[in-house]
Structure 1
Amino acid sequence: MAELSETYACVPSTERGRGILISGDAKSNSILYCNGRSVIIRNLDRPLQAAVYGEHAYPATVARYSPNGEWIASADASGTVRIWGTHNDFVLKKEFRVLSGRIDDLQWSPDGMRIVASGDGKGKSFVRAFMWDSGSNVGEFDGHSKRVLSCAFKPTRPFRIVTCGEDYMVNFYEGPPFKFKQSIRDHANFVNCIRFSPDGSKFISVSSDKKGMLYDGKTGEKIGELSSEDGHKGSIYAVSWSPDSKQVLTVSADKTAKIWEISDGKGTLKKTLTHPGSGGVEDMLVGCLWQNDYLITVSLGGAISLYTASNPDKAPILLSGHMKNITSLAVVKSDPKFILSSSYDGLIIKWIQGVGYSGRLERKVNAQVKCLAAVEEEIVSSGYDNKIWRNSLHGDQCADVDSVDIGSQPKDLSLALLSPDLALVSIDSGVVLLHGTKVISTTNLGFTVTACAIAPDGTEAVVGGQDGKLHLYYINGDTLTEESVLEKHRGAITVIRYSPDVSMFASADANREAVVWDRVSREVKLKNMLYHTARINCLAWSPDSSMVATGSLDTCVIIYDISKPPSSRMTIKGANLGGVYGLAFVDDYTVASSGEDAFIRLWKLSPQ
């Protein structure tokens, strides 16, 4: 049996120049956000627990809890809204095509009967309100000429809907059925977010013109604005009301969040919160939510900061992670509680078992990372820039960046663990032997190379080819001498790994098969490991060499006990949506998996 013990969730997808609208449920203290085609549910009190809804066919854009917390409505870039239950495996209740383009915002009516959605559409249809159970329209929404970025439902009767968008307009509708009442043009740029106060007495709009405007909730008349003194110096992307309707939280491209006191129709600055980052572009703030005693901000880099509303001076809790698919995982051998992960966009993140996010390793050059290996005090990585990087692992910095250009794109990277300065890198035409950041030799092997592994003592290498053959070489100084060729695979070799006790090595291929070999006799030790339904991307050995785990494009992780027939395997279904690309054992009974969904999950294995 394998049980999920910890989840290190991805961060929200963001886009420069646009806000993101996150939402939550005050009763369960959970928040919702989107990344790729996934909707992520995170509990703020237990950040190492996260659930994912991955049923959208297009990138998900916004999600909201129904007023009773039983349902979630989530929307995507195709204009589709799906309504699903928060319990019972997220059972789908309804699905409607609401707009002809991307949906940017949606909200439930306070009685949970209707939903309003806004976004991009053809012609004049940028907003639609409908009954959640039948999909039938509840009004006409004229008055916008461009994409509608945000919409809000008045939480008290009489019901009203307000919308705002790229035409600089704030529109006010009365209903139901909803009819256009008036357009208000007080902003001089895109209006990014609009929200009613929880008591329904007011609503506020915020814009890229750096202003926030306050209106009467019943009539739509303007009653004031946020003070321009100490105001935001950049576009305001999102706004959220305090539960008592007396304050609002705003976030801006100027990298600050501000708390405003709202009274007599005016907004007076109460507190400015600065984002705890390096001050780069990724620290612009693009989303916010005031929920219970939490003030939540989201940066362009995806970092979620949790401030305490009752004590805003207290340092925020930071929840961060990857935004893009995780290409590799490594466990620091000297301290297996430390897990390192690298993603397609060049981020390397450090995690601590039981804690979660522990910092990102800043690299001077943010090249895309393909392979990652860790030994004692050092990280070795290869990227799409033809370089192999060696970074010293001190604190939260990747210090002493050394790199070597090997002239071709690295396919695979393997370190000789007993003499970690020695590394073997595979390229299309052969292999490159490195000592530190010095090329010892480049060997053309005469076949297309797809994977490689070097023995821990550096005396032997196994190289896999496009033809499915495994070539074994003796390494003597800078020369490789072919010793034998093993034929068993029927597809291109994708990964090769030596067992920690070096008595075996395992290989896997694109034709979904894995094989365990005896290192001394070169005989097959475990065969018929053919239980995946798609290519195997990664494999890992348990520290005691008793188990081997494989991860595949089919989203599954399979764990084999070397002493038992493959039929007694343990399968983790749906370990990572979109495919498993990284695997590492943290200890003999804990395996970490990562993949296309930018999640890392830790699985506890119970002895069979």
Structure 2
Amino acid sequence: MLSLSSTIDLQGMCFTLFVCWSPDSTRILSASADKSAKLWDADTKQLVTKFELGSSIEDQQLSCLWQGEHMLTVSLSGYINYLDKNNPSTPARVIKGHNKNITAMTLSQSSKTVYSAGLDNKLLNWDVETGDCVETKGKGHTNMVNGMSMTGSTITSVGVDDQIRFQDAEKKEFMAETIGLDAQPLSVDTVGDKMAIGTDGEVSLYSGNTKVFSEKVGYRVNSLCFNPSGSQLAIGGGDSKVHIFDVLASDLKEVTQLTNNDPVDAVKFSPDGEHLACSSGKKAFLWKVDGYMPVSTYWSGHVGRIITLSWSPDSKRFATGGVDSSLRIWALANINSGECIKGAHPKATIVSISWLDDNTVVSAAHDKCVKVWTV
């Protein structure tokens, strides 16, 4: 039995936000805005145990539940705490996740770890096999994360705070070094020691963490992607074109443009480097990199704008997702049809897709969820 309390504990000078009974009705568990939970004896009205659950604003406790042997509380951060009567200062388990929209994702195929970030500024590390989640330690972004890319054991992220930040994936912590930007970044990609950053009207090339090239362009850089060797860079532009650049040591040289009917939101080279796919409006387009000849007119099936796409490691299929909440899988061997998972993230925009292996797709969306699919 649960009951909501709006009273103020004047003696403790704290707001008791929620209380619940133990199954045998002899104890009461309370959750409070003072970042603690308390266990009370129902008969004597005396405090039995106080659980300290942190010191930050996000550690305020909003609700509680006593289910069987388990006592749980929910923090303002959205984390769920399993209380431990034998160790009141440390929860037995904390279930973590995003409490605001996810806006970016990348993954490590070797460690089977997914990295997601969003409007809550947090960068979370998900173990695909267990579902366990760990928050990246250290000073991260102070605003929404717009893009992420992983090379080796380093995760590069860009945010609305106009910063490039780096995470050590093995230590699960942010590195001290950051790079400030002159404008809000919209996209990022890395390969080897190269990094490309796109903004609304500018593209920059970095060698290591040193900017070696920057150029104003007359379009919004919605997305960008290096080919596997890092010798070319494709840019999906707000001008409804895919711009192809040769990547030199300290320069970008545009070599061709591929015209579409709508702004290009996503662009990806296949892992074998033989194909380039892009999304434009509700359609997906595909070219052979050799001469950039179209493979077909277009592939269609989404009923809303495609936001993201990703290739399988064997380069035989690619996946698309977007505002219609659906996930579609397209096979090069059969360009006339595609497998569809309707409502993959119900009523939510899918913002990022990655392949864990040739038969496993990971998707992230505005419903604050990361999902793993066998396809």
Fold shared per TM-score above 0.5: yes
> In structure 1, what is the equivalent of residue 31 of structure 2?
251
Aligned partner of 2:125 in structure 1 is 350
Q: Report deviation, 1:331.
A: 0.8
Aligned residue runs from structure 1 range 119-198, under 5 A = 193-194=4-5
Q: How does 1:4-19 map to 2 (within 5 A)?
A: none
Whether 1:456 and 2:262 are equivalent positions in the alignment is no
In structure 2, the CA distance between the partners of 1:269 and 1:504, relative to structure 1 (3 Å rule), is: same
1:400-432 Cα distance to aligned partner (Å, 9 max, x none) = 23222231111111112xx1x211111222311
Correspondence list, 1:209-224, <5 A: 209-210=8-9
Provide the C-alpha distance between the structure 2 equivalents of 1:573 and 1:444, rounded to a whole number of angstroms.
40
Q: Please give the secondary structure, in 1, of the residue aligned with 2:58.
A: helix
Q: How does 1:423-442 map to 2 (within 5 A)?
A: 423-442=195-214
Partner AA of 1:247 in structure 2: R
**2:313 corresponds to 1:537:** no
Change (3 A) 1:588 1:297: same
Q: CA deviation at 1:526?
A: 4.4
C-alpha separation in 1, matches of 2:289 and 2:58 = 48
1:442 and 1:390 map into 2 onto residues whose CA distance is: 21
- 3-state secondary structure, aligned to 2:348: coil
Q: Distance in 1 between matches of 2:51 and 2:155?
A: 35
From 323, 339, 347, the equivalent of 1:570 is 339
Distance 1:312 1:294, change over 3 A: farther
Q: 1:395 to 1:479 in 2, by over 3 A?
A: closer
Is the counterpart of residue 593 in structure 1 residue 363 in structure 2?
yes
Aligned to 2:40: 260
- Partners in 2 of 1:298 and 1:352 — Cα distance? 22
Are 2:325 and 1:555 equivalent residues in the alignment? yes
Deviations 1:174-216 (A, max 9, x none): xxxxxxxxxxxxxxxxxxx34xxxxxxxxxxx62x325xxxxx
1:282 match: secondary structure? helix
8 Å contact from structure 1 (residues 361, 396) kept in 2? yes
Which structure 2 segments of 5+ residues have no match? none
Q: Say whether residues 1:381 and 2:152 are aligned partners.
A: no
Residue identity in the other structure for 2:98: H
Q: Structure 1 347/315 Cα, relative in aligned 2: closer, same or farther at 3 Å?
A: closer
Please report the TM-score for the alignment, with normalisation by the length of structure 1.
Answer: 0.58
Distance 1:517 1:363, change over 3 A: farther
Q: Is the 8 A contact 1:328 1:583 kept in 2?
A: no
What CA distance in whole angstroms lies between the structure 1 residues aligned with 2:110 and 2:51? 38
| C-alpha deviation, 1:375, in angstroms | 2.2
Q: Deviations over 1:530-557 (max 9, x none)?
A: 1111111111111111110001100001
Which of 7, 10, 17 is the aligned partner of 1:237?
17
Residue 233 of structure 1, CA deviation? 5.3
**Structure 1 pair 578–358 and aligned structure 2 pair: CA distance change class (3 A):** closer
The alpha-carbon deviation at position 312 of structure 1 amounts to 6.7
Give the whole-Å Cα distance in 1 for the aligned partners of 2:356 and 2:307.
Answer: 19
Determine the C-alpha separation between the residues in 2 that align with 1:354 and 1:270: 38
**AA of the residue aligned to 2:150:** A
**Residue of structure 2 equivalent to 1:272:** 50
The amino acid that maps onto 1:459 is S
- What's the TM-score once normalised by structure 2's chain length? 0.93
d(CA) in 1 for partners of 2:250 and 2:228?
A: 16
Within the candidate set 259, 282, 285, 1:512 is matched to: 282
2:135 counterpart of 1:364: no
Deviations, residues 29-50 of structure 1 (Å, cap 9, x unaligned): xxxxxxxxxxxxxxxxxxxxxx
Contact 2:212 2:251 in 1 (8 A): no
CA contact (8 A) 1:441 1:478 kept: yes
Superimposed CA distance per residue, residues 127-149 of structure 1 (whole angstroms, 9 cap, x where no aligned partner): xxxxxxxxxxxxxxxxxxxxxxx
Letter in 1 for 2:27: Q
Deviates more, 1:533-542 or 1:471-480: 471-480
Structure 1 position 471, deviation (Å):
1.6
Would you say the 8 A contact 1:388–1:437 is kept in 2? no
For 1:557 and 1:254, locate their aligned partners in 2 and report how far apart those are by CA, in whole Å.
43
Work out whether residues 553 and 580 of structure 1, in 8 Å CA contact, stay in contact via their aligned partners in 2: yes
- Please state how far the C-alpha of 1:598 moved relative to its aligned partner: 0.4
1:584 aligns with 2:354: yes
Separation of aligned partners in 2, 1:480 and 1:376: 24
Aligned to 1:534, the other structure's residue is in SS state coil
Q: Following TM superposition, by how much is the alpha carbon of 1:527 offset from its aligned partner in structure 2, in angstroms?
A: 4.2
Within 2, Cα distance between the matches of 1:408 and 1:462? 20
In structure 1, C-alpha distance between the alignment counterparts of 2:353 and 2:326, rounded to whole Å: 11
Do the aligned partners of 2:79 and 2:95 also contact (CA within 8 Å) in 1? yes
Structure 2 CA distance, aligned partners of 1:471 and 1:395? 37
Among all aligned residue pairs of Structure 1 and Structure 2, give the percentage whose two residues are the same amino acid. 27
> 1 CA distance for matches of 2:87 and 2:41?
14
Could you tell me how far 1:463 is from its partner in structure 2? Answer: 1.7
Amino acid at match of 1:584: S
Distance in 1, Cα, partners of 2:221 & 2:133: 36
CA displacement at 1:512 relative to structure 2: 0.9
Partner of 1:439, secondary structure, is strand
Indicate if the aligned counterparts of 1:526 and 1:566 stay in contact, CA closer than 8 A. no
SS where residue 559 of structure 1 aligns?
strand
Q: How far is the alpha carbon of 1:522 from its aligned partner?
A: 0.7
Residues 475-514 of structure 1: matches in 2 within 5 Å?
Answer: 475-487=247-259, 489-509=260-280, 511-514=281-284
State how far apart, in whole Å, the 1-side matches of 2:76 and 2:237 are.
41
Match of 1:339 among 114, 129, 142: 114
Write out aligned runs for 1:14-25 (5 A). none
Q: By how many angstroms is 1:437 displaced?
A: 2.5
Q: What residue in structure 2 maps to residue 185 of structure 1?
A: none
Cα distance in 1 between the residues matched to 2:197 and 2:239 = 19
Counterpart amino acid of residue 254 in structure 1: D
Is residue 469 of structure 1 aligned with residue 241 of structure 2?
A: yes
Counterpart in the other structure of 2:176: 401
Mapped to 1, the partners of 2:72 and 2:220 lie a distance apart of: 50
Q: What residue ranges of structure 1 are gaps of 5+ in the alignment? A: 1-22, 24-106, 108-151, 153-192, 195-205, 212-227
Aligned residue type for 1:357: D
Equivalent-residue separation in structure 2 for 1:378 and 1:527 (angstroms): 38
Query: How many Å apart are 1:373 and its aligned residue?
Result: 1.3
